[in-house]
């Protein structure tokens, strides 16, 4: 076999991409990964891996990537002066620099050929140009199936733009929801903010919400979803985080000095998630606001399914057009629920009133509480 020809070529080494690669390798496919960033790399994320994500890694035999992860046992939601504490298994906290790097190492150890610091671009069915970002040299790669797992900010399908309606051969483009929020985040020194280990703190404010969690090495991850106009009005991500975190802040200088990163619009979907020799997975296939902290778990489970299917496509026993139905079955109900929660939280006053209702009738918000922990909510 030619060295530049693979059964499955995965673009992006986030949770979706590495889980797709691990599943494809397990199914016997010769697999490659092309990743734009140099690893380890930071990523805007709340860093809370859901129980479903933990289970996905266990099923792939990759859960030792979570060896030092912090078990999460409580979520605190604050809005308009009300606070609800919700106890239950919320999975684990782990930094994205460590998690993604460990999963990529796993994939390499199991036989994946991987390039980092290399930008991939899909040029034709089964054809990818990979450009080394530092040196500018290019490789022309071929694969039976290309799995696009390049996230919200991915560029591998950029050349293809928006899918014209009714063009079955077209490569997928984005549909972005009106009024979509953006994400921003940073990892802060451990003494910058108040944040108890093992507890997720979520604060709902006018224009968005912000979450805090303590990572295994003691640093604190901050991630927010925000109305872009509000972020601009408050003077950028650092100023916005400082204002929103308010009484959690211990060292404002550390917040101002942190390396803040932003994301493009969060709520979006692909017009299509398949094409000739092409499957799209993870955030690259669509995303909703992240309040319930399930994106990585979704990405891992969808990645697992995509990798296994891609191996079968490469072996000639399945087709890429089986992917939309498979993905819909995996993801659509969760995304609708998550979108509904995100819309309900758009009003901090409503959220505060709902949290106060916990005190009067804990069963009132039972379904909501179940979604962010076991329904044993208490209101402070």
Ligand X SMILES: Cc1cc2nc3c(=O)[nH]c(=O)nc-3n(C[C@H](O)[C@H](O)[C@H](O)COP(=O)(O)OP(=O)(O)OC[C@H]3O[C@@H](n4cnc5c(N)ncnc54)[C@H](O)[C@@H]3O)c2cc1C
Other Cβ atoms closer than 10 A to 167: 10
**Residue placing its CB nearer to ligand X in the complex, 113 or 359:** 113
Read off the tokens for 70.
């912090």
260 phi-psi bin (left φ>0, alpha ψ -120 to 50, beta other)? beta
User: Is residue 151 at the binding interface for ligand X, with CB under 6 A as the rule?
Assistant: yes
Least separation in angstroms between residue 205's CB and ligand X is 14
Residue 96 to residues 2, 18, 45, 54, 146, Cα–Cα distance (Å): 34, 13, 7, 14, 24
Q: Which of 6, 7, 8, 17: binder of ligand X (CB under 6 A)?
A: 17
**Residue placing its CB nearer to ligand X in the complex, 48 or 77:** 48
C-alpha distance across the termini of the chain, in Å: 64
User: Quick one: which of 194, 230, 234, 231 has its CA closest to 212?
Assistant: 194
Interface with ligand X: number of residues (CB under 6 A): 44
Residue 354 to residues 62, 75, 78, 81, 205, Cα–Cα distance (Å): 39, 16, 11, 12, 14
Q: Which of 65, 143, 156, 286: binder of ligand X (CB under 6 A)?
A: 156
User: Is residue 31 at the binding interface for ligand X, with CB under 6 A as the rule?
Assistant: no
User: Is residue 37 at the binding interface for ligand X, with CB under 6 A as the rule?
Assistant: yes
State residue 238 phi and psi, 5-degree precision: -65, -45
Interface stretch with ligand X, choices 10-18, 64-72, 187-195, 233-241 (CB under 6 A): 10-18
What is the C-alpha to C-alpha distance for residues 45 and 358, in angstroms, rounded to an integer? Answer: 28
What is the C-alpha to C-alpha distance for residues 211 and 373, in angstroms, rounded to an integer? Answer: 15
**Residue placing its CB nearer to ligand X in the complex, 95 or 144:** 95
**Residue placing its CB nearer to ligand X in the complex, 79 or 296:** 296
Residue 171 to residues 272, 279, 308, Cα–Cα distance (Å): 8, 10, 22
Least separation in angstroms between residue 141's CB and ligand X is 11
Q: Which of 23, 98, 99, 120: binder of ligand X (CB under 6 A)?
A: 120
Whether 13 contacts 120, CB under 8 Å: no
Q: Which of 8, 9, 10, 11: binder of ligand X (CB under 6 A)?
A: 11
Interface stretch with ligand X, choices 28-36, 68-76, 135-143, 372-380 (CB under 6 A): 28-36
**Residue placing its CB nearer to ligand X in the complex, 7 or 289:** 289
State residue 354 phi and psi, 5-degree precision: -65, -40
What is the C-alpha to C-alpha distance for residues 189 and 1, in angstroms, rounded to an integer? Answer: 49
User: Is residue 295 at the binding interface for ligand X, with CB under 6 A as the rule?
Assistant: yes
Query: Residue 168: exposed, middle, or buried by beta-carbon count in 10 A (0-12, 13-18, 19+)?
Result: exposed
| Bond from prior residue into 40 cis (ω within 30 degrees of 0) | yes
Q: Which of 290, 307, 352, 375: binder of ligand X (CB under 6 A)?
A: 290
User: Is residue 45 at the binding interface for ligand X, with CB under 6 A as the rule?
Assistant: yes
Q: 3-state class of 324 per DSSP?
A: helix
**Residue placing its CB nearer to ligand X in the complex, 39 or 350:** 39
Interface stretch with ligand X, choices 68-76, 106-114, 293-301, 318-326 (CB under 6 A): 293-301
**Residue placing its CB nearer to ligand X in the complex, 7 or 283:** 283
Interface stretch with ligand X, choices 170-178, 292-300, 311-319, 367-375 (CB under 6 A): 292-300
**Residue placing its CB nearer to ligand X in the complex, 119 or 163:** 119
DSSP secondary structure string for all residues of 353-366: HHHHHHHH-TTTTH
Least separation in angstroms between residue 356's CB and ligand X is 25
Taking CB under 6 A as the criterion, which residues in 297-316 touch ligand X? 297, 299
User: Is residue 237 at the binding interface for ligand X, with CB under 6 A as the rule?
Assistant: no
Q: 3-state class of 58 per DSSP?
A: helix
Q: Which residues lie near ligand X (CB under 6 A)?
A: 11-17, 34-37, 43-50, 119-120, 149-151, 154-156, 183, 185, 223-225, 263, 266, 282-284, 290, 293-297, 299
């Amino acid at each position: 076999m030619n060295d530049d020809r693979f059964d499955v070529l995965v673009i992006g080494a986030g949770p979706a991409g590495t889980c797709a690669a691990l599943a494809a390798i397990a199914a016997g496919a010769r697999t490659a990964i092309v990743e734009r960033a140099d690893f380890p790399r930071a990523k805007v994320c709340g860093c809370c891996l859901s129980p479903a994500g933990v289970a996905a890694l266990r099923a792939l035999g990759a859960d030792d990537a979570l060896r030092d992860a912090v078990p999460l046992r409580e979520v605190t939601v604050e809005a308009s002066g009300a606070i609800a504490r919700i106890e239950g298994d919320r999975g684990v906290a782990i930094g994205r620099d460590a998690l993604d790097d460990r999963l990529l190492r796993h994939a390499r150890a199991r036989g994946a050929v991987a390039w980092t610091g290399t930008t991939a671009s899909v040029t034709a069915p089964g054809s990818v140009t990979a450009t080394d970002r530092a040196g500018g040299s290019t490789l022309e790669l071929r694969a039976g199936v290309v799995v696009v797992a390049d996230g919200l900010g991915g560029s591998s399908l950029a050349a293809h733009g928006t899918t014209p309606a009714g063009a079955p051969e077209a490569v997928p483009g984005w549909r972005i929801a009106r009024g979509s929020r953006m994400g921003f985040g940073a990892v802060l020194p451990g003494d910058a903010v108040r944040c108890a280990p093992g507890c997720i703190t979520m604060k709902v404010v006018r224009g968005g919400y912000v979450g805090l969690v303590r990572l295994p090495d003691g640093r604190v991850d901050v991630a927010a979803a925000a109305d872009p106009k509000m972020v601009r009005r408050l003077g950028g991500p650092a100023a916005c985080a400082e204002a929103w975190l308010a009484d959690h802040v211990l060292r404002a200088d550390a917040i101002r000095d942190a390396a803040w990163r932003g994301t493009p619009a969060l709520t979006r979907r692909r017009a299509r998630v398949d094409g000739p020799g092409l499957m799209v997975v993870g955030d690259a296939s669509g995303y909703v606001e992240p309040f319930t902290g399930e994106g990585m778990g979704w990405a891992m489970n969808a990645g697992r399914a995509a990798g296994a299917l891609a191996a079968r496509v490469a072996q000639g026993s399945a087709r890429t057009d089986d992917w939309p139905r498979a993905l819909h079955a995996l993801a659509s109900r969760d995304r609708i629920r998550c979108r509904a929660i995100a819309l309900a939280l758009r009003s901090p006053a409503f959220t505060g009133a709902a949290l106060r209702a916990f005190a009067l009738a804990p069963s009132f918000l039972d379904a909501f509480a179940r979604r962010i922990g076991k329904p044993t909510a208490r209101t402070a």
